[in-house]
């Protein structure tokens, strides 16, 4: 009974806890069940974006498909990132906090429902509606923090004002057409990226937890890799059901699995990510847009390669090879830069550069090797990059 009473008292205290900044040095800080549920709703949005990219690639609409994918994925990633950093500083887990977070989840699902229309017809209304729901809830969270936390009030008010102003710009953009649509998109993305730097300027730094942030990014990486596996398995299952297990399908399955496993290992080096300054944290956090988007695009690329191998796509073998090779090379190069930036590098830069070059060469060699042979070669090349980096790290003198 004593333990139960203590737990009940703790929950009651949490329900009445003001939204003060949490201790950035708090021990054993980990992702909460609410944060994990929040991430799961983003699986739907990421899956929709990757599926639409796959369809665009298979139909030969590479340029429009990549632009739509980059735009949609930015909305997904930016909403996730904003909540993640806010929660790291102000997660009180009380009733208003939970309700506003659940509202953001609803917004994610609305955005996901609008992804096909945005890709196929250029209709961004539902995507923007979902984004409005998420961002309005985020503004409310920041206003709560401003009211309850005098130390962080200035920064919280800046965040609320910046988010609201840029969100109004996204709504106004629905009535912009022609060449101005692309120009206003770039301007609004730049404005979104500038809000955190402005809000944190001159002593208004939010008290986020470095270890918690690193864990949250790692968990989202796992979610994206899981989506890659799910999409690939579904495509392989469909191919096997239609025509049996052919050699190209088997090679793509093995190569894709090697890619996922090796990229996971390269991301999770076992070394602590050190986010020691705001500049480092912003660069590391922003750089993950490319990492997440490229990993999800890898799944679309593997599915497109399967379509080409089964003669179901309006795509050349060269294009099929590059749809896998380019995302993998981008991830390798970005991981090298991000890990060196945060002292988490377990694999040297030169092995990663060599691995990226080998993967791109295999992508260009797809007409000769076939999609299956090219993808298998890429999987072996990335696995060899990992092995070479780990061996070099073991041989390096300590200290």
Beta carbons within 8 Å of 315's beta carbon, 6+ residues apart: 57, 58, 60, 304, 307, 308, 323
Residue 315 DSSP SS3: coil
Asked whether 264 and 228 are in contact (CB, 8 A), the reply is no
pTM assigned to the model: 0.89
Within the chain, all domains assigned CATH 1.20.1410 are found at: 210-394
Q: What local confidence, expressed as pLDDT, does residue 394 receive?
A: 62
CA 17 to chain centroid: 31
Q: What local confidence, expressed as pLDDT, does residue 6 receive?
A: 42
Task: Write the DSSP symbol of residue 346.
Answer: -
Q: 210-394 has which fold?
A: I/LWEQ domain (1.20.1410)
What distance in Å separates the CA atoms of residue 385 and residue 358, rounded to the nearest whole number?
10
Beta carbons within 8 Å of 134's beta carbon, 6+ residues apart: 79, 83, 104, 107, 108, 111
DSSP alpha helices (H): ranges in 149-209? 153-173, 179-199
Distances (CA, A) of 143 to 24, 102, 162, 247, 263: 21, 17, 12, 58, 39
Task: Write the DSSP symbol of residue 151.
Answer: G
Residue appearing with tokens 């994206």:
224
Q: What local confidence, expressed as pLDDT, does residue 9 receive?
A: 44
Asked whether 164 and 139 are in contact (CB, 8 A), the reply is yes
What distance in Å separates the CA atoms of residue 48 and residue 44, rounded to the nearest whole number?
6
pLDDT by position in tens, the chain (length 399): 444 444 344 444 444 456 766 777 777 788 899 999 999 999 889 999 999 999 888 888 888 889 889 999 999 999 999 999 999 989 888 999 999 999 999 999 999 999 998 888 888 899 999 999 999 999 999 999 999 888 888 989 999 999 999 999 999 999 887 778 888 999 999 999 999 888 887 656 778 888 899 899 999 999 999 999 988 888 888 878 777 788 889 999 999 999 999 999 999 987 888 888 878 888 899 999 999 999 999 999 999 999 888 877 778 899 999 999 999 999 999 999 998 888 877 788 888 999 999 999 999 999 999 999 999 999 999 999 999 888 876 655 444
């Amino acid at each position: 009974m004593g333990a139960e009473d203590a737990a009940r008292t703790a929950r009651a205290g949490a329900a009445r806890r003001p939204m003060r900044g949490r201790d950035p040095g708090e021990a054993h800080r980990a992702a909460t069940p609410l944060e994990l549920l929040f991430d799961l709703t983003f699986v739907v949005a990421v899956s929709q974006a990757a599926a639409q990219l796959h369809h665009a690639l298979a139909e030969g609409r590479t340029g429009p498909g990549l632009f739509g994918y980059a735009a949609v994925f930015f909305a997904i990633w930016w909403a996730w990132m904003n909540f993640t950093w806010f929660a790291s500083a102000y997660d009180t887990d009380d009733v208003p906090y939970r309700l506003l977070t659940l509202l953001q989840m609803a917004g994610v699902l609305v955005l996901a429902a609008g992804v096909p229309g945005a890709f196929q017809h250029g209709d961004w209304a539902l995507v923007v509606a979902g984004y409005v729901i998420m961002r309005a809830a985020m503004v409310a969270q920041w206003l709560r923090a401003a009211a309850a936390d005098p130390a962080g009030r200035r920064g919280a008010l800046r965040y609320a004002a910046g988010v609201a102003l840029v969100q109004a710009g996204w709504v106004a953009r629905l009535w912009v057409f022609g060449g101005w649509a692309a120009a206003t998109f770039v301007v609004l993305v730049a404005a979104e990226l500038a809000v955190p730097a402005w809000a944190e300027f001159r002593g208004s730094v939010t008290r986020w937890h470095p270890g918690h942030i690193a864990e949250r990014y790692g968990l989202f990486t796992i979610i994206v890799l899981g989506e890659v596996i799910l999409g690939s398995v579904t495509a392989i299952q469909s191919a096997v059901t239609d025509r049996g297990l052919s050699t190209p399908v088997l090679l793509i399955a093995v190569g894709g699995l090697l890619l996922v496993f090796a990229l996971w290992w390269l991301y999770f080096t076992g070394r602590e990510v050190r986010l020691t300054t705001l500049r480092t944290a912003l660069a590391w956090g922003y750089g993950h847009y490319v990492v997440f988007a490229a990993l999800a695009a890898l799944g679309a690329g593997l599915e497109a390669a399967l379509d080409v191998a089964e003669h179901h796509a309006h795509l050349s073998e060269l294009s099929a090879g590059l749809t896998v090779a380019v995302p993998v090379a981008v991830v390798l190069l970005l991981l090298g830069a991000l890990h060196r930036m945060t002292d988490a590098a377990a694999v040297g830069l030169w092995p990663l550069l060599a691995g990226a070059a080998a993967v791109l060469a295999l992508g260009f060699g797809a007409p000769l090797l076939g999609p299956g042979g090219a993808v298998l070669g890429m999987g072996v090349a990335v696995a060899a990059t990992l092995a070479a980096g780990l061996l070099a790290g073991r041989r390096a003198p300590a200290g």
